[in-house]
Structure 1
């Protein structure tokens, strides 16, 4: 019954007509079709305000933007989807939530809608598209923002002759952007200093740490660990739908080694805390870290004398890939207008404007635009070329965590055992075993994988 309803709504949406753009500009407010977009409060939405206005100028539509704290967004959207209230026409989904919303009929497939818009679909970075838009041979919307991870570091420290010489003497290889996680750990150890010791030949007035970590009680700890786990050839779920305990234990132990070289506050913070530590001159590098934070990180060059920031792929060329997907609610009273809105926000023109405002685009044409490689754009888009490298390096990658309809529930549970291990409350083995038990409870046995 649910699938029949979904197909009926979709057919109606595709047959519906809309006013041409020129007519829409003269549309009376009383005639505008209302649609509501539930999304994340903060920059992600603030930067979209003008783009929403632009859509309204070209369509006889009024968009009501509902700003919801990221920690509450999933639960609020699920409640409305289960109740089929129609409260939201367009929803914003994290990568792990797509399969659940698609499998349960919460959102409408947009495969037919994009049938004659193949060029727009093809412009989405293929690696990102596979993880965010695709599920069981259907397209479920467009990502409008990516928080794909890489590596951010203090390039001035890596280039300092005194530090280079000391590193080479200690580890017997050159100090450079790490290509392996073992090198990354060496660098973290090397740059950890006490107040009174020297850094770049100058005496430190406060402790300095080799790495910033998102080890607080937040989901980002598993995002950080994903690159290491995937580098092992493992995943959070096997193809049989079970947690690979040995592999998770190994990744957790690697993480615990790094905790030694991170600020004590690592156990309480997420990405904003790491950025504050960088801008305060407390850390030398990140771990597997969200590159959308580059405009934040580059501010270190202003707050710390002599600092120069660098960005690169994460070691082993493996890191978390993710994005916010815009999808259309199956209970929307205006699915055609909602789909038009998704296509607009995820389209080239809107994404270009989003990038100029400091947003991290999902489109290859935007990420590769020469304007964003210019020196004057570095503060906002200096990470774009690195994102292109990451998407190329991870071409064809998929994670079973994103292809199970239980992915969101698993994702929202993972940080509990992982953070407990990071805090020293349980061992890495216990964390892996507890995660396996919790996942089995969530799925009622092995988790179904529906690529």
Structure 2
């Protein structure tokens, strides 16, 4: 068998030429990237192809990608596409269609969760990406404190409600206040937030918006709807959580910064991407092993996912497809999930081995079922810049939340008119 596998590897490698090959991929510094890195030796063994990963902070990715996508031949063979870049990248014609490759290799695209496939997979009936990982946001919280009888009694005495996993937004806000002011834990905060602009604050604040019953726009007309009582309440609550109940500096925290505070046991809660849930149980990264849990955000948290794509400027699209086909094969997708990856394929959430290992998988299924989408259109990145700017001004510079959101609505409408979605 070993000789057969070696011979197969040599045959595959020979299909790409005698010289050693290397493909280049730009990726974000998140846990799922580490899980991909762990699969690379197996890919090299099977194909003879080396993979060079350039791993950067999220804020750098778009700036690095666009010049490469515009060029006749870029540096990256494979790219990963955030869901709100989809409109921009597809309208510009930067991505190669994958349908013929999928058909030729009988790749099982039906394995993907339909909502995620629509978000970072098919666009207007053409498959331009294969979903990589999901990052629907959830509420991570200290379950040991929630189950502590002393805190349960004190919380009920003050707020007149049970201290439990919150299913309504006001419950959660009361818990944040209690663990900041009344829990008697020195140096402890009720919440840590990722207030860095433009992306981290925009993504996190979306949860506050949805939890208050607000929406970004009217689904029938695309008319912006942020400067509403729901939106204003959401921004006021977010500002209060950062200024009154969070650690110093949270207004400038990236998601890494905020996670580190929670993982060091210095905050009761953090609304974050579900991919961080398994990292809480990694002793190398966390001091709260076995103490953190995840739940759906009341009202439905933010949905999100990334997709693998082959740019039209790819120097080696055939080798790029070999990599995508390998990394998204059911076998490798399961291996990544066992390491803690945020899966996009539905069979993984039904796998007994994974459910046994990760008791919170049912909660993750709920996150994906009820998560709500951020606006996706050609100018979504520009909209994120606008939104992040105004949210940050309200949080750090004292701008009135209503005025901030009115400005967002105004510039959002201009971008939508430019895109043709709003008349």
Q: TM-score range by the shorter chain?
A: 0.7 to 0.9
Aligned CA distance change for structure 1 residues 411 and 118 (closer, same or farther; 3 Å): farther
Long gaps (5+) in structure 1: 1-18
Partner of 2:40: 52
Within a 5 Å distance, the mapping from 1:97-116 to structure 2 comes to: 97-115=85-103
**1:1-400 map, 5 Å:** 23-24=11-12, 30-32=18-20, 34-41=22-29, 43-59=31-47, 61-115=49-103, 120-193=108-181, 199=184, 204=185, 206-231=186-211, 234-239=214-219, 240-247=221-228, 248-259=231-242, 260-286=244-270, 288-298=271-281, 303=287, 308-316=291-299, 318-374=300-356, 377=357, 381-394=358-371, 398-399=373-374
Whole-angstrom distance in 2 between the partners of 1:273 and 1:229: 23
| CA-CA distance at 1:149 after TM superposition | 0.8
Q: What is the distance in 1 between the residues matched to 2:259 and 2:49? A: 39
Counterparts of 2:55 and 2:239, CA distance in 1: 36
* Contact 2:277/2:293 (<8 A) preserved: no
Distance 1:176 1:424 in 2: 35
Structure 1 residue 218 displacement after superposition:
4.5
Dislocated runs of 4+, deviation >6 Å: 26-29, 116-119
Contact 1:242 1:446 in 2 (8 A): no
Q: Which shifted more, 155-164 or 227-236?
A: 227-236
Contact (CA 8 Å) 1:133, 1:325: kept in 2 or not? yes
Deviates more, 1:70-79 or 1:230-239: 230-239
**What does residue 10 of structure 1 align with?**
none
Secondary structure of the residue aligned to 2:303 is coil
Residue equivalent to 1:7: none
Worse-superposed segment, 42-51 or 429-438? 42-51
Superposition deviation, residue 88 in structure 1: 1.7
Gap change, CA 1:20 and 1:105, over 3 Å in 2 = farther
Report how far residue 55 of structure 1 moved.
2.7
Aligned to 1:6: none
Partner of 2:401: 428
Say if 1:96 and 1:407, in contact at 8 Å, map to a contact too: yes
SS at match of 2:54: strand
Q: Is the 8 A contact 1:35 1:334 kept in 2?
A: yes
Note the C-alpha offset of 1:446. 5.4
Residue 407 of structure 1 is matched in structure 2 by 380
The alpha-carbon deviation at position 278 of structure 1 amounts to 2.0
Cα distance in 1, alignment partners of residues 196 and 38 from structure 2: 34
2:3 corresponding residue in structure 1: none
Task: Report how far residue 252 of structure 1 moved.
Answer: 1.1
Native 8 Å contact 2:32 2:342 kept in 1? no
Task: Say whether the 8 Å CA contact 2:10–2:48 is kept in structure 1.
Answer: no
Contact 1:48 1:354 (C-alpha < 8 Å) held by counterparts: yes
How many residues of Structure 1 are paired with residues of Structure 2 in the alignment?
411
**Root-mean-square deviation over aligned CA pairs:** 3.0
Q: Tell me how far 1:40 sits from its aligned partner.
A: 2.3
Verify the 8 A CA contact 2:262 2:268 in the aligned structure 1: yes
Asked if 2 retains the 8 angstrom alpha-carbon contact of 1:142 and 1:343, the reply is: no
- Cα distance change, pair 383–84 in 1 and its aligned pair in 2 (3 A): farther
Distance 1:184 1:108 in 2: 44
Distance (whole Å) between structure 2 residues aligned to residue 166 and residue 59 of structure 1: 61
- Gapped runs of 5+ residues in structure 2? 1-6
Distance 1:140 1:302, change over 3 A: closer
Aligned-pair CA distance for 1:311: 1.6
Q: Which residue of 1 aligns with 2:4?
A: none
8 Å CA contact 2:23, 2:76 repeated in 1: yes
